[in-house]
Structures are given as structure tokens and as C-alpha cells.
């Protein structure tokens, strides 16, 4: 993990390791550097931290209330036995805390994000290209005005190295759907003619 790029967004495991102080100094510095500039990862860390804190507070409150009721609800001559009972309750609460901890890791699994709608126009500017979230299903509307032929077009999405990430056919309405989303990075959406020639190209940024 020491060699991770500060430009790459954090994984769930890295967020967990960051919050529980499991990272080495170098790796933590790289992740902190990324968090300074990435709003999406900042939100993810804040939500995870808030959820863990809420679960821990709930366990502490429940333990305190149960122990107090167990102690105050017995007679003085029974408090010796109550001490042993409270120890049993303590073990039960430890088990509950462990179960809640498991719940944190189960419930924090991101639910499928809704489909994001992105419109790509001819008058594009690379520095202000529309942005989508990594892994989110996309409905991409392409500006096909002025292109020949009503039957539809072949479309390919390539990354900044030219590797194909998606190929599809779109109708003249120009709607391209990417159900599984794309990893973070810069992409080019290319509209091709019947002969395979490039008719139009759009920039798409995924964060």
C-alpha cells in the first residue's frame, strides 16, 4: 500500500484502515494528501466515521444502563450474587458489541447508486467536461445533431490510454447506457460512422 497513487480514490478497506489507525506513516500521508483534494473520499470517510461513532456510543450507553439497572434492582444482601450476574451481563454486552461491529462492516457496504444522467455536447471543454461517480450506472445523452443517418451509430468509450472500456450501438436519440459504470479516470466517448470513421468525440471525467 506504500506505493499507492495519491490520485486514486480510496477503497473501502483503505477507509477502514485509515479510521482505525492501521496504516503506516508513509501510506497514511499519501491518503491524507488525497483527502485534501477529493471531496468524494472526504464524504465517504465522514459518513463511515459517523456511523462507527454512533454504534460505539450506542453500545456504551446500553452497557451503562443495563449494569445500573442490574445493580440497583437487587437487595444489599444479594449484591454479591448480582456482581457475578453483572459479569455475565458484561460478557453478553461484549458479544452484542461484537455483533454490532459486524453490523458496521455489513451495513456500510455501499448500496447500488441510482443511474446518473450525463449530457455530452459538441462544444466541449476538457477542463470542464461533465463528471460522473466511479462505479455508478450512467445514462449518457450524446449530442448527435448534424450527423448523417437516422439508423443509429456505433459508440465506443476509451480510456486516456486508448483502451476500449465500452462498445455499444445507439439510436439516433443518442442515449448510451453504461449499467456497471466506469472506474475513475478520463474517458473519450467516440461516435463512429458506418465505415468505422470518427464522426464525433466527447470527453467524460469519472471521479
Each residue's pLDDT tens digit, 141-188 = 988 888 876 677 899 999 988 898 899 888 888 899 998 888 988 898
Say how many domains are in the chain. Answer: 2
For cell 452484542, name the residue: 96
Whether 166 is covered by a domain: the verdict is yes
86: its cell numbers: 453483572
162 and 196 together in one domain: yes
* Separation CA 193–CA 22 (nearest Å): 52
pTM of the complete model? 0.45
| Structural domain for 171, as ranges | 116-206
200 and 124 within one domain:
yes
Inter-axis angle of helices 25-37 and 39-72, nearest 10? 110
127 shares its domain with 56: no
Q: Which three cell numbers stand for residue 92?
A: 453478553
Query: Which CATH number does the domain housing residue 139 bear?
Result: 2.60.40.10
Residue 130 · residue 119 · CB < 8 Å: yes
Give yes or no: residues 93 and 160 share one domain. Answer: no
Q: How far is CA 56 from CA 53, 65, 77, 102, 148, in A?
A: 5, 14, 34, 12, 62
158 and 191 housed in the same domain: yes
| 136 and 93 belong to one structural domain | no
Amino acid at each position: 500500500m506504500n506505493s499507492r497513487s495519491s490520485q486514486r480514490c480510496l477503497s473501502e478497506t483503505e477507509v477502514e484502515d485509515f479510521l482505525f489507525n492501521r496504516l503506516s506513516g508513509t501510506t497514511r500521508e499519501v491518503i491524507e494528501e488525497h483527502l485534501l483534494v477529493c471531496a468524494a473520499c472526504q464524504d465517504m470517510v465522514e459518513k463511515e466515521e459517523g456511523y462507527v461513532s454512533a454504534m460505539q456510543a450506542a453500545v456504551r450507553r446500553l452497557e451503562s444502563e443495563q449494569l445500573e439497572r442490574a445493580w440497583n434492582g437487587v437487595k444489599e444482601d444479594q449484591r454479591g450474587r448480582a456482581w457475578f450476574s453483572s459479569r455475565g451481563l458484561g460478557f453478553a454486552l461484549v458479544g452484542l458489541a461484537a455483533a454490532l461491529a459486524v453490523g458496521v462492516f455489513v451495513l456500510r457496504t455501499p448500496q447500488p447508486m441510482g443511474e446518473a444522467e450525463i449530457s455530452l455536447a459538441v462544444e466541449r471543454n476538457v477542463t470542464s467536461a461533465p463528471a460522473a461517480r466511479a462505479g455508478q450506472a450512467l445514462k449518457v445523452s450524446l449530442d448527435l445533431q448534424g450527423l448523417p443517418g437516422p439508423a443509429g451509430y456505433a459508440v465506443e468509450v476509451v480510456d486516456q490510454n486508448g483502451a476500449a472500456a465500452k462498445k455499444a450501438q445507439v439510436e439516433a436519440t443518442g442515449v448510451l447506457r453504461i449499467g456497471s459504470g466506469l472506474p475513475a479516470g478520463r474517458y473519450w466517448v467516440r461516435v463512429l460512422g458506418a465505415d468505422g470513421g470518427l464522426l464525433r468525440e466527447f470527453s467524460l471525467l469519472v471521479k
